[in-house]
Structure 1
Amino acid sequence: RHELHVIVDEIYMLSVFDESATFHSVLGMDRLPDPQRTHVMWGISKDFAVSGIRFGTLYTENQDVANAVASLCYFHGVCGPVQHKVAQLLRDRGESVAPYWINQVYLRANHARLKAAHTYVTDELKTLGVPFLNRNAGFFVWIDFRKYLRTGTFEEEMLLWRRFLDNKVLLSCGKAFECSEPGWFRIIFADKTHRLQLGMQRIRKVLEEREQEILAEEKEQPCQSEQDGKADSTDEVIFVSRHQEPTCASSSNLGDLIGLLQQQMRSSDWLQKNTAEQFA
């Protein structure tokens, strides 16, 4: 209706590690809603773990788009040695059923390792009681660290990110991905087991320290005591009864009393209702 172009990035199409899930390419559809405005991208950086080899493909039936992209190849084309190596890789000189090595050897081993790494990381998160979004493809887990933020702000998210970094753990914070809610982080699990174990130990250490800090701050807040007295029929009156019993020992000192009064004043609209002009 709006004549929008749809760009589908299938960069993880060979990285589905759960046997119960099957990848379905948009090119496998019987009919595209608008073939001239549907473009599909894929590259070898994720599925073949060669992010340093800058090689990607674009499938489009739109000749204008193809010509526009081709005009950029003079400055951004794939060099000859890389083209040769990728061609050798995809040619797959294996058994009679091609591509044998890719399907029967590499992808099977890669999927098994991804699944094992994903299982380890998610089990650790469950032990820590940390919510996360569980997916059966790709290399990362989207983690909910909102309960470890003192306030629900992106500034607090950056402080937590810095705490991880100080403990030699590099996570990606949600703000880097334009997440609308602070507290979400991305952890990549596509690594060897001993590195994942060390990383999760450091994450556990940061979260436990953070949790203790938040609990300590909550205990330091002055406890609230119940208020006695009566209010006027038309106005809300702020007061502290001399006969009330404190709910904790610290509420009897002057500092807690002042804090209690300040809190009541902030939560009351008495000053807004009763201006100086009314009493003139």
Structure 2
Amino acid sequence: MLVHPNNPLGDVYSPQLLTDLMGVCARHEVHFISDEIYALSIFTDEDEPSSRPPFHSVLSLPHPDPERTHVLWGLSKDFGLAGLRVGVVVSRCAELMACLRAVAIYKCTPHLVHHASAALLSDIAWCDDFYLRLNSERLGRTYRRARGRLEAMGARVREARAGLFVWFSIRDFMETDSAEEEMEIHAQLMRAGVYVVPGSKLYGADPGWIRLIFSVGEEELDEGLKRIESVLKKRRKKTA
């Protein structure tokens, strides 16, 4: 199971890496599932042009084992339409599709929602030429805004290429390298009126990482960052 683009890191994987991973799965007869829920939420960092590859869906690459290769997508992230409850599974596995069709009898998406989703995706002038382009520009702008403010506070920010979030380290504001202190800082941020996700809840390898969603209006983003800064300033004095 691969989350591509990655949540919470915002990474985009190269076609070569994807091909190599599919090759490993094919040799060992393991199913390869690519969750591409953020596939259309790609942006570029204009301040630091990245050498990282652009996004390539698994669907655009050769499949060494087509029967065991599956791709997931939905409207909830790229279009902010979680309430429509539309999910997509792309697979050539006849057995899997037969099972999904059987389950869909009881878990199907309403026909009106099907129609609305098809109309939205079929409107190339609005969807491709307007919405996706504007969404990418705005995500890139707010990402750079959030990243700049966090780095000015003294936080270390991981470069991202996609998604709605930024992954940053608060280890320089911690006295101990522990998940307990990470959760203590999370509680302080909550009391300051900011909801973020601590890295330990996202299975981070090391304590002291936080995921911040930046896909909001600039005024709201600035207020959230201001509250984060108020907490980190106090932590800076304490750790100093």
The reply on whether 1:184 has 2:216 as its aligned counterpart is no
Please tell me the residue identity of whatever aligns with 1:179: G
- Residue equivalent to 1:220: none
What's the TM-score once normalised by structure 2's chain length?
0.83
Counterpart CA distance in 1 for 2:55 and 2:205 is 28
Identity %: 36
- Residue equivalent to 1:168: 193
The reply on whether 1:132 has 2:163 as its aligned counterpart is no
What's the TM-score once normalised by structure 1's chain length?
0.71
* 1:182-209 deviation per Cα after TM superposition (whole angstroms, max 9, x unaligned): 1111001100000011001000000001
* 1:46-102 deviation per Cα after TM superposition (whole angstroms, max 9, x unaligned): 11111222101111111111112222112321122211211221221xxxxxx1111
Q: Which has the higher contact order (CA 8 A, sep 6+)?
A: 2
The reply on whether 1:12 has 2:38 as its aligned counterpart is yes
- Residue equivalent to 2:88: 57
> How far off is 1:211 after superposition?
1.4
* 1:196-230 deviation per Cα after TM superposition (whole angstroms, max 9, x unaligned): 11001000000001111223xxxxxxxxxxxxxxx
SS of residue in 1 equivalent to 2:89: strand
Counterpart CA distance in 2 for 1:11 and 1:164 is 28
- Rg (Cα) greater in structure: 1
Pick aligned residue for 2:111 from 77, 80, 90: 80
Task: Find runs of 4+ consecutive structure 1 residues off by over 6 angstroms.
Answer: none
The reply on whether 1:100 has 2:131 as its aligned counterpart is no
Please tell me the residue identity of whatever aligns with 2:33: I
Pick aligned residue for 1:112 from 137, 156, 166: 137
Counterpart CA distance in 1 for 2:223 and 2:159 is 22
Please tell me the residue identity of whatever aligns with 1:172: V
Structure 1, unpaired ranges of 5+: 93-98, 216-280
- Residue equivalent to 1:22: 54
* 1:224-272 deviation per Cα after TM superposition (whole angstroms, max 9, x unaligned): xxxxxxxxxxxxxxxxxxxxxxxxxxxxxxxxxxxxxxxxxxxxxxxxx
Counterpart CA distance in 1 for 2:171 and 2:227 is 18
- How well do the aligned residues superpose, as a CA RMSD in angstroms? 1.4
* 1:146-183 deviation per Cα after TM superposition (whole angstroms, max 9, x unaligned): 12222111111111100000000001011111112111
The reply on whether 1:90 has 2:127 as its aligned counterpart is no
Counterpart CA distance in 1 for 2:128 and 2:234 is 45
- Residue equivalent to 1:2: 28
Please tell me the residue identity of whatever aligns with 1:38: T
Structure 2, unpaired ranges of 5+: 1-26
Pick aligned residue for 2:71 from 4, 15, 40: 40
Please tell me the residue identity of whatever aligns with 1:8: S
